[in-house]
Structure 1
Amino acid sequence: MDNSICQVYEEIQSLEEEIKLLAEKYEENQHESTFFSDEEIVMSIKSFQREFQGESKGRESPSDLKAELESLEADLSFLMKFTGIQFTSHSKKTVEKTRNRTVQKHRLSGNCHSLSFQLEFQLLEMQNKESVSAVITDLSIIMESGEDSDMSKFVSSTEERGNLLTFFRSLSSYAEWYEHRRCTFLHFKAKYPDIVTLPEGLLGDYIILRNPKLSGFELMIVWKIHIDEEGRTTPVLDLLTKVPEQVLQQKMATIETAPARFRSMLLLFGIETAIENLIKVVGLEK
């Protein structure tokens, strides 16, 4: 027992002596002054820069990252102007994650010209040694496009197929025609307020032309926007007539051929000019 105590005591003395030596050495270093020449300082800085550049090889500088961000923002701005699509909100939630499989739930909302939309879908990502694949499932689309049966069919077809690229490409085309129709109706209503009537407002798909001096006489210009299940968009315009019986008897041939003549004007002069000419004819009718 005594031998053990002596051994411990000797070890403590040895540690104390070692600590004392280290303390003395530290004090000596503290009182020493080390001076470096300007050349040595410059060489040290250059060496540090080379090491830093070597460690950051493959990384972009802040100025490069800023330039890249500005370029991406410019591209995004161009795409929004070109397609008319703007996203107002986006949220995602990871509902499942394993080593090779990730499932995220996304919610998107935005507008394309004057049409708003909401999307909800799940994105399934599968990863293997060679590649990563992604599949969209459970797609749900809400469109504020009124009672357009064509759009409803297209939305249902897109939800079944889960093809977002087709949806956004077709939405851009459809919304552009939708906005063009709205602006055209607004233009003619403002220019000919006594002749042009919009029973369903600017978002309706037809306008009524009436001559205030001819009771019961009116022309209806119907402007549908047809979109098939594949997303192909086509404007379809036609003319419907409502004519008092006495006028119809006097100008039967002219009234009967009016729709065909209107369609011919559409092909020859375009939508705006065809409507303008028709409005002028109605306004001069006696």
Structure 2
Amino acid sequence: MRAVLGSINQFNLSETPGTRAGSSKNTLFTPTTANLSLGISQRLQSFTNIQFTSIQNYILTARNLGRCRQYNISGTCFQLEFKLEFTVNEPALSLENLHIEVPISIRTELGDFIAESERKSLLLPFFEAFTQYAQLDHDRQTVMRKISQRFPQLIKANHRGSPSRTSTTRGKLAGPTIPAGGPGVQVLVLGGSNKSPELVFQWVVDITSDGKVIPQVRMLPRMPKSWRQLDDKATLDAIPSQFLRLIQLKGVEGAVAILLECVYGQQVTRTAPEDPDLSDE
């Protein structure tokens, strides 16, 4: 990663006069407008799925410590957009004033990490963690979209944000309702008739301030307290632990499908075409 990112400065850029006194500006628009090393860009996308869409840099007015260069970079990783602005003190090879922009839909999970990366001007750690996060968010989007398409009659709501374990309000969670399978969607609420409990499928991607990415996938039952009192064998309370075991055997999508069939019955869950890969052998 370090070698590939460092190769950005090896591109042959088209130089134009700067818009401010004492500066000159270089701009990378598309691979067809400059003589670029396309192999470098292709390797970067192959290994990390990062694709740069724009790279601009210009020399700032010389300071006491020597020449500084301003960079404005934008791109995508697994279809998640990012924009970066930072300054490089070229004699000292130090990076300063890092500013990071990502879609507002994923700010809930990335906010603390981005703030720490900006505070310490940590460019490489940002890329390393962001590529991991983008991959997991892509997987999460794919699974939630497939579940929504396979069991549309069971979908109650989908949200960003954590569900309340004690809430008994059907189909209502904090946060805006958004299309299933979109970036940053963490919660999918599933339910049958009014006489059946709701299952809250939660997939959170936590990222610590130092860039450690931790996925957490859970299935939580949600029902009135009176129902819980009647469940003397604590069958519903065992759903979270059983779900984690099923993930190891069938994967996330398969585990969700099996639990939905167990709770809501085959007649409800099999109105949509069944995935042959999830059937019992």
Superposition TM-score, scaled by structure 1 size? 0.66
1:275 equivalent in structure 2: 256
Partners of 2:82 and 2:90 lie apart in 1 by: 25
1:83 equivalent in structure 2: 48
1:230 pairs, out of 210, 216, 224, with: 210
Per-residue CA shift, 1:245-264, capped at 9, x if unaligned?
Answer: 56434434101222222223
Q: Which protein is bigger by CA-based radius of gyration? A: 1
Q: Is 2:234 aligned against 1:266?
A: no
Q: CA RMSD in A?
A: 2.6
Deviation at 1:96, TM superposition (A): 2.8
1:195 pairs, out of 154, 176, 186, with: 154
Preserved CA contact (<8 Å) 1:145 1:151: no
1:151 equivalent in structure 2: 110
Alignment-mate amino acid for residue 156 of structure 1: A
Partners of 1:265 and 1:162 lie apart in 2 by: 42
Deviation at 1:198, TM superposition (A): 4.1
Q: Indicate the percent of aligned positions where both proteins have the same amino acid.
A: 23
Superposition TM-score, scaled by structure 2 size? 0.67
Q: As a proportion of its length, which structure holds more helix?
A: 1
Number of residue pairs matched by the alignment: 210
Q: Which has the higher contact order (CA 8 A, sep 6+)?
A: 2
Alignment-mate amino acid for residue 210 of structure 2: E
Question: Which segments of structure 1 move beyond 6 Å, counting only runs of 4 or more?
Answer: none
1:248 pairs, out of 228, 239, 247, with: 228
Partners of 2:225 and 2:103 lie apart in 1 by: 40
Q: Is 2:99 aligned against 1:140?
A: yes
Deviation at 1:197, TM superposition (A): 4.0
Unaligned runs of 5+ in 2: 1-34, 160-178, 269-281
Preserved CA contact (<8 Å) 2:147 2:253: no
Per-residue CA shift, 1:3-40, capped at 9, x if unaligned?
Answer: xxxxxxxxxxxxxxxxxxxxxxxxxxxxxxxxxxxxxx
Alignment-mate amino acid for residue 69 of structure 2: Q
Alignment-mate amino acid for residue 263 of structure 2: V
Equivalences for residues 67-146 of structure 1 within 5 A:
72-97=37-62, 101-126=66-91, 133-146=92-105
Partners of 1:178 and 1:136 lie apart in 2 by: 29
Partners of 2:144 and 2:157 lie apart in 1 by: 8
Change (3 A) 1:244 1:122: same
Partners of 1:75 and 1:137 lie apart in 2 by: 25
1:163 equivalent in structure 2: 122
